[in-house]
């Protein structure tokens, strides 16, 4: 995979951020609440798509169709066996209606979608924040294994104290 240098322009204050992603497997976007981390991640997704890269962007507010179960949803999207395996590993109840799931359960399903993505870039906007501390290590190891096998870049925002080995950090400041 050729990893580009990207130039992201903030849509409001026109701040330009040039970023060399070469040699990176993990990048954490850090900053205070309201500093523009999510806006930056959105801009990065737009720029990567503009130059023809495959991007999976999991936003903070990932939603699934109420009235369906993960099993039914998997059928709707014609999911692979790997998706079912990801759901199993992440301990998702396949028969529980999305309407009755917690934020952590929803985020584990979103992570299972990441595990079967063929995208070069996985952008995660606070995807870990609703996951129980007891599951974080398991989720991180699973994502590391996936990233190594698929040779992609994971860029993420998180307010909890986690990190991947050898990750690059980008600090966003509102001023």
pLDDT at 41: 86
DSSP designation for 106: H
Domains of the chain: 5-172 (3.40.50.300)
Give this prediction's pTM: 0.80
Q: Is the pLDDT of residue 171 over 80?
A: no
β-sheet bridge partners, residue 155: 27, 123
Compare 75 and 9 and report the one with higher pLDDT. Answer: 75
Strands 121-125 and 55-58: parallel
Both tokens of 103, joined, read: 């934020």
Asked if residue 138 lies in contact with residue 19, where contact means CB atoms within 8 angstroms, the answer is no
Helices and strands counted in the chain (H then E): 5, 7
Tell me the pLDDT tens digit for each residue of 127-147: 887 778 888 888 888 888 888
Stated as kind and residue range, the H or E segment containing 118 is: none
The predicted-structure confidence for 68-122, as pLDDT tens digits, reads as follows 999 998 888 888 888 888 888 888 999 999 999 988 888 888 888 888 888 888 9
pLDDT at position 12 over 70 = no
Mean pLDDT of 54-69: 86
DSSP H helical segments within 15-132, as ranges? 37-50, 70-76, 81-89, 103-115
Q: Which helix (H) or strand (E) holds 128?
A: none
> How far lies 15's CA from each of 5, 7, 8, 12, 141, in Å?
17, 10, 8, 8, 35
Is the pLDDT at 2 greater than 50? The verdict is: no
Average pLDDT over the chain, rounded to an integer: 80
Confidence band (pLDDT; 50, 70, 90) for 21?
low
Q: What is the pLDDT of residue 7?
A: 57
At 130 the three-state DSSP class reads coil
């Amino acid at each position: 995979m050729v990893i580009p240098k990207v130039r992201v322009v903030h849509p409001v204050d026109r701040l330009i951020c040039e970023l060399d992603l070469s040699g990176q497997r993990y990048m954490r976007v850090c900053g205070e609440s309201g500093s523009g981390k999510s806006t930056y991640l959105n801009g990065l997704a737009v720029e990567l798509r503009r130059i023809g890269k495959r991007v999976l962007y999991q936003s903070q507010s990932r939603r699934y169709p109420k009235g369906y179960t993960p099993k039914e949803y998997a059928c709707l999207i014609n999911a692979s066996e790997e998706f079912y395996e990801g759901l199993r590993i992440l301990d998702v109840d396949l028969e529980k209606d999305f309407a009755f799931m917690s934020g952590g359960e929803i985020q584990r399903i979103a992570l299972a979608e990441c595990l079967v993505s063929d995208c070069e870039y996985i952008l995660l906007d606070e995807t870990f924040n609703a996951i129980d501390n007891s599951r974080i290590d398991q989720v991180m190891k699973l994502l590391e294994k996936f990233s190594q096998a698929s040779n992609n870049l994971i860029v993420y925002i998180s307010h909890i104290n986690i990190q991947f080995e050898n990750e690059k950090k980008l600090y966003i400041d509102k001023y």
